[in-house]
Amino acid sequence: MGKSVVVVEERESFGGHTSTYIVPGTNAPINFGVQVYAGDEPSIRRFFGYYNIPLIQVQPSSAPQSNTRHVDFKTGTEAVNFTVNPDLSAFSVEAHKYADLSFQTRAPSPLPADLLLPFRDFVTKYNLQSSVYKLFFQGEGLGDLLSQPTYYVFKNFSPDLLDSFLPTSPGVFIVPTGSNQEIYQRAQADFGDDAIVDSRILVASQRSDSGVTVTIKTPTGLQTIQASKLLISAPPTLENMAPLLLDSHEIPLFSSFKSQGYFVGLVNVTGFAPGDEFYNMAPGATYALPQLPALYQISPTAVAGIYQVNYGSQEDYYPEMLVKADIVATVERVRRSVLGAAVARGLPPVKLLAFSSHAPFSLRVSAGEISSGFYTKLDGLQGYRSTWYTGAAFSGHHASHVWKFTEDIVNRMFA
C-alpha cells in the first residue's frame, strides 16, 4: 500500500496469544497458546505464504492417540461410566444460520431473538444437551457458558471452525516446524526498528480527523509518534483505552464490556501413563460442567513429562499468583488420586514451566445492550478521530476470524 507503519507491542515480542516454549537443551518447541489454525480462511494462507512458511492440514483423527479420563478436579476422583458425545453436528446446523457473525462487528438486523437467549435456554429449545460438555471445552475461556447470551457462543463457534474438526474434513492447519512463534518472529524482523516492543502508549494527546499524536514509553525512554491513523488491537477495556483520552461517544461503549480470565501454561509432572489426558468434570452439576475458577484440562504434549494446562475464571482480574498456585495444587491432587498417595509422595513435585495470561478474554455485554444496538454503535467508532480497532472484541476469537477481520479493516482504513 506504500504506507509507513510503526507497531507498538506491550510484550517483549510479537505473537499475542501465541506462546511457544523451547525445551531446555533442545530445539523442541511446544505451543501452549495457539495450537492450530482452523477454518480454510484465505487470510491464513496469505499470511503464512507471505513469509514462505508452509502449512499442512491434518485431520483431528491423525493426532497422537490419547487416553481421555474425566476427573473431578476438586477431589481428584475419577468418573465412572462418564461418556461424552463427540458429535456436534446438531449444534453445527444451528451455527450455519449465523455464519457471518464471527467476521463482523455489527449484529444481524433484524436481530434473531434466539441470539439473545441465555445459552442454557437455547440448548433446551433445540435439544442440544448432549453437545454442551464438549462445547464447554472447545470454547475454553468463555466463562459461564450457560448464562451468556447465545450471540457470543455462535460468535466463537463459526461453521468453518466446527466443520474443520469433522472426521470428513481436510482438517486443521499446523506448521511443520512445530513452532507457531516462527511467523511472528519473521514479521517482527521484517518491521525492524519500526517494531517497538516492550512498550506501551502513555497518552494520545491528539486524535482528530487530521491524524493522531501518541507518546509511548519504551525501555529507552519516551517517544512521540505522529501518524495519519491509529489501529488498536488491544482488548478495548476502559483501562486499556484510558490513554486515548476518550470522549463522551467512546466512554459509554468501552465501559460496558465485561470479560473473563483465561490462562495457559505447561507443567512438568511424572507418573502419568503415556497418553493420559484429564478433563475436569463436576458430578451433580448441570451437564457436569466445573465451576470456575478452575483448571479445564491436563493434556500431554509431544515431550514426555510435559503437560499443557488451561485455566479459566469468570473475572479477568483474577490474581495470577492464585492461578499458578491452583494449577500446581490441582495437578498434584489429580496425580495423588490417580496413582495413589504412597506412589505420588515418592515423585518429584509438579513444576510450572511456562505461563501466559490471555486476560482480559471474551469481552461481552448484556443481551439488553446487544438488542439496543451496542455493536452498531461500536462499529460506528471505526475511523472516528482517526482511530480504528481490531481484535476478538470486534470479531470472533480464532485466528481465522481475527485475521480476516483485520484485513478488511486495513482495507477500509486506506480505501
Residues in the chain: 415
| pLDDT per position as a tens digit, 351-396 | 999 999 999 999 999 999 999 999 999 999 999 999 999 999 999 9
How many other C-beta atoms can be found within 10 angstroms of the C-beta atom of residue 121? 13
Rounded to an integer, the average pLDDT of 307-328 is: 94
β-pairing verdict for 258-268 and 230-232: unpaired
Task: Give the closest residue to 408 by CA, choosing from 385, 382, 384, 387.
Answer: 382
How many Cα atoms are found within 13 Å in the side-chain-facing hemisphere of 124?
7
| pLDDT per position as a tens digit, 246-271 | 999 999 999 999 999 999 999 999 99
Written as nine digits, the cell of 56 is 499442512
For residue 386, what pLDDT is reported? 98
Task: Give the closest residue to 7 by CA, choosing from 193, 226, 217, 246.
Answer: 193
Q: Are 38 and 400 in contact (CB under 8 A)?
A: yes
For residue 62, what pLDDT is reported? 46
Using the Cα atoms of residue 391, residue 219, residue 263 and residue 299 in order, give the sign of their dihedral: positive
Above 90 in pLDDT, residue 4? Answer: yes
Above 60 in pLDDT, residue 61? Answer: no
CA distance 192 to 218: 15
Rounded to an integer, the average pLDDT of 215-222 is: 97
CA distance 141 to 383: 30
Rounded to an integer, the average pLDDT of 116-144 is: 97
